[in-house]
């Protein structure tokens, strides 16, 4: 199913439909927008017909200088069976030949009262968000001190119970059980909850609870950028866990590498506090303060001092 159709733009930006109503359900598959100035001059060799065509003051005033037969020919070439729509900005008057061509080819012709550059920017941002690569991951997403922490682990390890404790400590739940993730930029992952389970938390033995109803609107948020992954796993006596924090593991989600920390789970460990401190420590590292590296440097200095004394 197409993620975005022409009618979505019509509703989102309050555009006015002039003609071509039959094509209102055409899919939009790219966030790129074309301003067909060179096409108005007659050069259609590399015409990007699959893009939204945006006509502003420059294009429309140029059309006025063309001969009637040139206007008709170029308006017809502008309308193809893959063109999602043609949008005219600034509430400008639309050539009748374009209205007729759009009606014949069922290309939606829309009009906006916004300035061309502003409208282009808004539509591009909307389409990039909707058409961004996406995936879904089993886990819990919580906003901890401004850090988007994705808690992962096998079913039953205690992810939701940990999230509940974090919410009680004043942090905000984004999603439980299933986290929908979209890559909006090269290194930007945005997580949100599926609409069906938004604000809900499942606690074994207790059932499903509504976090917003219980703890208030300040305990939830709709989406959050993911910057840290906390993987919970049952304690394995044979496995060697990192005790200094010098090693930094990465987890690849779509095309982005996210810092991943593995926390062993066993009775007596307060996971909420550990994750809370991990988020604070992650913030400190981004500010240039790394306790593990400082300790390593101090230890190296002490060893070197002792070696010199022995000499």
pLDDT per position as a tens digit, 131-149:
989 999 999 999 999 999 9
Considering the candidates 104, 138, 286, 298, report the single residue annotated as catalytic: 138
- Answer yes or no: is 296 a known binding residue: no
Instruction: Examine the pLDDT at 91 and tell me if it is beyond 90.
Output: yes
Q: Are residues 145 and 120 in the same domain?
A: no
Domain extent for 121: 6-130
291-296: average pLDDT: 69
* Domain count within the chain: 2
What are the C-alpha distances in Å from 38 to residues 34, 44, 63, 116, 306? 10, 8, 11, 17, 75
Which of these, 199, 190, 216, 217, lies nearest to 163 by C-alpha position? Answer: 199
Residue whose token pair is 């930007």: 188
Q: What is the CATH classification number for the domain harbouring 239?
A: 3.40.50.300
Considering the candidates 159, 171, 199, 224, report the single residue annotated as catalytic: 159
pTM: 0.75
In a domain, 118, yes or no: yes
Q: Are residues 75 and 141 in the same domain?
A: no
Instruction: Examine the pLDDT at 306 and tell me if it is beyond 80.
Output: no
Instruction: Specify whether 243 is catalytic.
Output: yes
Q: Are residues 225 and 108 in the same domain?
A: no
Q: In whole angstroms, give the CA distance from residue 65 to residue 291.
A: 69
Instruction: Specify whether 138 is catalytic.
Output: yes
- Answer yes or no: is 288 a known binding residue: no
Considering the candidates 90, 122, 177, 269, report the single residue annotated as catalytic: 177
Q: Are residues 144 and 265 in the same domain?
A: yes
- Answer yes or no: is 160 a known binding residue: yes
Q: Are residues 50 and 163 in the same domain?
A: no
- Answer yes or no: is 302 a known binding residue: no
- Answer yes or no: is 158 a known binding residue: yes
Q: Are residues 181 and 288 in the same domain?
A: yes
Instruction: Specify whether 177 is catalytic.
Output: yes
């Amino acid at each position: 199913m197409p993620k975005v159709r022409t009618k979505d733009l019509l509703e989102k930006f309050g555009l006015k439909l002039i003609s071509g109503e039959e094509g209102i359900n055409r899919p939009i598959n790219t966030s790129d927008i074309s301003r067909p100035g060179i096409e108005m001059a007659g050069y259609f060799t590399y015409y990007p017909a699959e893009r939204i065509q945006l006509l502003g003051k420059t294009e429309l005033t140029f059309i006025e200088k063309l001969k009637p037969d040139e206007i008709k020919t170029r308006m017809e070439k502008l309308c193809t069976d893959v063109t999602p729509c043609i949008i005219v900005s600034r509430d400008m008057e639309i050539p009748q030949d374009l209205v007729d061509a759009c009606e014949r080819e069922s290309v939606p012709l829309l009009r906006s009262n916004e300035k061309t550059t502003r409208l282009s920017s808004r539509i591009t941002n909307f389409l990039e968000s909707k058409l961004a690569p996406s995936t879904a991951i089993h886990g819990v997403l919580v906003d901890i001190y401004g850090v988007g922490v994705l808690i992962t682990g096998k079913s039953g390890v205690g992810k939701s119970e940990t999230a509940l404790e974090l919410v009680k400590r004043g942090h905000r739940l984004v999603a439980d059980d299933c986290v929908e993730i979209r890559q909006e930029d090269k290194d930007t992952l945005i997580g949100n909850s599926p609409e069906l389970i938004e604000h809900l938390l499942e606690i074994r033995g207790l059932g499903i609870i509504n976090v917003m109803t219980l703890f208030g609107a300040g305990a939830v948020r709709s989406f959050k950028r993911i910057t840290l992954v906390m993987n919970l796993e049952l304690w394995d006596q044979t496995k060697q866990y990192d005790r200094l924090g010098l090693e930094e593991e990465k987890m690849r989600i779509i095309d982005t590498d996210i810092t991943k920390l593995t926390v062993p789970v066993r009775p007596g460990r307060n996971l909420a506090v550990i994750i809370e401190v991990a988020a604070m420590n992650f913030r400190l590292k981004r500010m240039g303060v790394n306790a593990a590296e400082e300790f390593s440097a101090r230890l190296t200095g002490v060893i070197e001092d002792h070696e010199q004394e022995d000499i």
